[in-house]
Structure 1
């Protein structure tokens, strides 16, 4: 079945075609004959039609894509499209920040339920930001604190030292992404006050604090699950002079296998992700044992996974989407 697919994402002009997972998914969809549209979340609109029933629209353009640097897409004329009547699948793929704009987009898109399939499910995305959903699986996590008071952080640090976990900490925004604003705090806490002051000025929400895990020097594994099943993984290693391994801040990727502990983590997460309609998820595991994030908003990593493994993760994702769309039509 040919699907009409609307991709809610950042401008096509700005993407890196050699590493962008959304572009990878668009190529895979196009290879199956699916028709592609592109729109920005800021153009979403909801019209009650004077009480006759709501209609969700977006200012969108039909696109075709190709892996040619400098000439990677062609775009038709923009027009208002009805996401309920003219589109079969919406891919919600714009990058975080996970802010009120992102949340409002999920509130609008969830009204398409039963008419147009939205991937990942907007209700689950709203309820499961990367560093919040993971708290449901604390048994696999390093000790973790979500707080705003410096006194709580100092108490957390002292407890880690008492347990032999070391005194160095990592502090990061609760709704950050791509390794941005992730800082290491030494055991003497010399920069703690300044960092917490900065976090208070920049964000109203709490921040997340964890012990610094020396195993990150050997890499931070990104494992991709498709409808709850492991599709592949890469190990991301920090660049020279960095402790952050995110590819967006200079990390490098290498092929890898899963440890027994990582397989246990995936087995625990898989059924939950599938039940919540989280089709494309990337989880992060440090040192082969510590789960740190469950990425559901706009996960990445499939380009490198397919390059190393000769796999077709984009195809697996579309297999899952097509099955879910068919099931939705059957009611």
Structure 2
């Protein structure tokens, strides 16, 4: 069953194909005979209730530096597509949120993955708070006195923007560090939203595990180890990926959250786990599937399209 698949993403000329999940999904879709159409969020439109995008037919190749060919731009009614992949990277700002409002108009007749309404209502650093017993102590606020009291209670803390991504703006404040006040002043100038403070987990030195779930079931994982000079393990900022297996505790976490993911129509999700604690549930454009396969794990792109095709039958 050949599908017409539109991919809303950052421009394909900007991606690093070796670790890009969207690219892996496109490769597998093409392998299955699906037609691919590429567009960036700024080419999404809605006129008189009709949702369209200026799309380009897309052909992909797993060749660094020569990984795609685009056809001529053409305006297409997205309700004529079978599937739209919502895959642009955060920040999760009003621009991002607006695209979810527009795409919600065509879902589920056109299957939008992940469900745009639930993506909008499930920011990754807030959604995780629905499972307080699975996560480290966490405070979301812009109140500097509350953050100072939280820091006094736990000593070492992590401070980060609520809607950041890729490790940007993440700070480890060790017990006794005198930079909290100036850091809060800087955050206040940079961000209108509240901040998030979490108890620092020393287990992060052994790695921050990314676990991928398809339709609420764990299908693979990688461990991301921070460099000696950084508190962050994100691969965007120098974290090193390594092969790993799921622990009993991690399987327990996946079992707990699986029903909620399925209820929200989240086909592809990545959760972050440090030690025994889940820190984020990523539903916007989770990454890591190429690394899982590279280390001998499951072909998650194939599992993804199995799930999507089952919903289109």
Q: TM > 0.5 between the two?
A: yes
Select which of 106, 122, 125 maps to 1:131.
125
Displacement of 1:155: 1.3
Question: What SS class does the counterpart of residue 10 from structure 2 fall into?
Answer: coil
Matched, 1:94 2:94: no
CA distance in 2, matches of 1:157, 1:2: 54
Matches within 5 A, 1:9-158: 9-48=9-48, 54-85=49-80, 87-158=81-152
Displacement of 1:189: 4.2
1:255-309 CA-partner distances (Å, limit 9, x unpaired): 111111111100011111011111000000001x110000000000000001112
Aligned CA-pair RMSD: 0.9
Aligned residue in 1 for 2:258: 270
CA distance in 2, matches of 1:81, 1:14: 23
CA distance in 1, matches of 2:13, 2:77: 24
CA distance in 1, matches of 2:158, 2:115: 31
CA distance in 1, matches of 2:23, 2:175: 42
Displacement of 1:235: 0.4
Question: What SS class does the counterpart of residue 131 from structure 2 fall into?
Answer: helix
Instruction: Show structure 2 runs of 5+ residues with no match.
Output: none
Select which of 232, 236, 242 maps to 1:248.
236
CA distance in 1, matches of 2:283, 2:183: 27
Select which of 255, 265, 270 maps to 1:282.
270
What is the number of equivalent residue pairs in this alignment?
Answer: 313
Measured at CA, do residues 89 and 138 of structure 1 come closer, stay the same or move farther in structure 2, by a change above 3 Å?
same
Displacement of 1:243: 1.4
Question: What SS class does the counterpart of residue 63 from structure 2 fall into?
Answer: coil
CA distance in 2, matches of 1:73, 1:128: 32
Displacement of 1:310: 4.3
CA distance in 2, matches of 1:17, 1:36: 17
CA distance in 2, matches of 1:186, 1:257: 30
Matches within 5 A, 1:317-328: 317-326=304-313
Calculate the TM-score normalised by the size of structure 2.
Answer: 0.98
Calculate the TM-score normalised by the size of structure 1.
Answer: 0.93
CA distance in 1, matches of 2:230, 2:56: 40
| Cα pair 2:220 2:297 within 8 Å, conserved | no
Question: What SS class does the counterpart of residue 309 from structure 1 fall into?
Answer: coil
Aligned residue in 2 for 1:299: 286
CA distance in 2, matches of 1:208, 1:110: 29
Aligned residue in 2 for 1:185: 173
Aligned residue in 2 for 1:163: none
CA distance in 2, matches of 1:14, 1:314: 21
